[in-house]
């Protein structure tokens, strides 16, 4: 067999099940580097400038939190799955600041899994993602639509 | 006056007006560097691996497109505004692949602007963002909620 064995196909998503995705500690240097390139607002770059803002201190760009969650997804299951990408998200919510030294843990819960009506061999999942810090605070949620190949379709190809 | 003059306050958002935010050409090196750190799926890293996928060739991570739009926002108005951050987005849609060499142009349209009912001096805007490539294709949209300070509140403080 020349095909690489994948761990996860569309058939493996079970509605209601929650799956842990590992963790990542984010450093001050990473926060500042991401912000300098993509989100150079003062409260993502400098403690003194951040102190009197609504964030109450240096905090990561919300897009940095998104990028970290994406990496946790990739390492947790996505790069060893039949993933066919995503058309986007119905919701991204930033609920708490992410601080230097925070250890972020991700998980997802499958809310819905249906076969594509128009594209044979493809399944669609609605996945609810949550990102927590080391205190157990929920810092971000996503509602994400994702496409996956069906095991049966790959076996037949 | 010790206060820095800002260009844009909540009162300056006019419902229905579309504002251009500048452009950014994204290189292959940037696409691969972002993906290697945050989204290491083969179709974001390598032309050969990407050729036979649903993207039909190397394309940027959707989160890279988000990060680029954020930077265009910052440079276009946000870092010279009374911005107080964002609680999140009601929608992120990736509509077309972003390719090496693409020149991306952003704009936003204000859909709604209301004063906060609970927090004096703060205004809330619902902003519709669009990212286009050099062919005029719409590659991404956002529906984003953002908080801004009111000019009147700052003048009184």
pLDDT, one tens digit per residue, over B136-149 is 999 999 999 999 99
Q: Does the distance separating the beta carbons of A38 and B71 come in below 8 Å?
A: yes
Q: What percent of chain A has pLDDT over 90?
A: 89
**Helical packing angle, A62-76 and B28-38, nearest 10°:** 70
* pLDDT level of residue A5 (50, 70, 90 thresholds): low
Nearest-angstrom CA–CA distance, B87 and A16: 26
Candidates B53, B79, B90; nearest CB to A41: B79
Q: What percent of chain B has pLDDT over 90?
A: 89
Average of per-residue pLDDT across A93-102: 98
Nearest-angstrom CA–CA distance, A146 and A123: 8
* Least confident range of A18-27, A63-72, A148-157, B88-97: A148-157
B86 near A CB under 8 A? yes
Q: Does the distance separating the beta carbons of A88 and B93 come in below 8 Å?
A: yes
Q: Does the distance separating the beta carbons of B70 and A61 come in below 8 Å?
A: yes
Q: How far apart are the first and last CA of chain A?
A: 13
Q: Does the distance separating the beta carbons of B78 and A41 come in below 8 Å?
A: yes
Chain B residues with beta carbon closer than 8 angstroms to that of A38: 67-68, 70-71
Cα distances from B88 to residues A87, A102, A142, B129, in angstroms, run 18, 20, 10, 13
pLDDT attached to residue B152: 83
Average pLDDT over chain A, rounded to an integer: 94
Nearest-angstrom CA–CA distance, B29 and B45: 10
Residue at token pair 């805007």? B125
A157 by DSSP, 3-state: which?
Answer: coil
Q: If you measure CA to CA, which chain B residue comes closest to A95? A: B87
Mean pLDDT by 10 residues, chain B (157 residues): 68 97 98 98 94 92 98 97 96 98 98 96 97 98 97 79
Q: How far apart are the first and last CA of chain B?
A: 13
pTM, 2 dp? 0.95
pLDDT attached to residue A4: 53
pLDDT attached to residue B2: 38
> Quick check: A2 pLDDT over 50?
no
Give this complex's ipTM.
Answer: 0.94
Nearest-angstrom CA–CA distance, B80 and A63: 20
CA of B108, closest CA in chain A: separation in Å? 17
pLDDT attached to residue A157: 67
Residue at token pair 């991401």? A34
pLDDT attached to residue A150: 96
Q: What percent of chain A has pLDDT over 70?
A: 96
pLDDT attached to residue B1: 36
Average of per-residue pLDDT across A25-50: 96
Select the more confidently predicted residue: A2 or B69: B69
Nearest-angstrom CA–CA distance, A80 and A7: 6
B49 near A CB under 8 A? no
Chain B residues with beta carbon closer than 8 angstroms to that of A83: 41
Chain A residues with beta carbon closer than 8 angstroms to that of B34: 67
pLDDT attached to residue A53: 87
| Full set of structural domains in chain A with CATH | 10-26+60-156 (3.10.129.10)
* Torsion sign over Cα A8, A13, A14, A19: positive
pLDDT attached to residue B4: 53
């Amino acid at each position: 067999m020349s095909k690489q064995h994948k761990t996860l196909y569309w058939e493996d998503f079970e509605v209601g099940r929650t799956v842990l995705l590992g963790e990542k500690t984010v450093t001050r240097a990473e926060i500042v580097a991401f912000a300098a390139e993509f989100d150079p607002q003062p409260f993502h770059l400098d403690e003194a400038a951040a102190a009197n803002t609504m964030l109450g201190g240096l905090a990561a760009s919300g897009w940095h939190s998104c990028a970290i969650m994406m990496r946790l997804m990739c390492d947790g299951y996505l790069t060893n799955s039949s993933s066919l990408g995503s058309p986007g998200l119905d919701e991204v919510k930033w609920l708490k600041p992410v601080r230097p030294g925070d250890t972020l843990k991700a998980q997802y819960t499958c809310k819905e899994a249906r076969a594509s009506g128009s594209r044979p061999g493809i399944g669609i999942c609605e996945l609810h993602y949550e990102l927590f810090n080391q205190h157990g605070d929920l810092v971000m949620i996503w509602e994400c639509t994702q496409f996956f190949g069906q095991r049966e379709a790959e076996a037949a190809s």
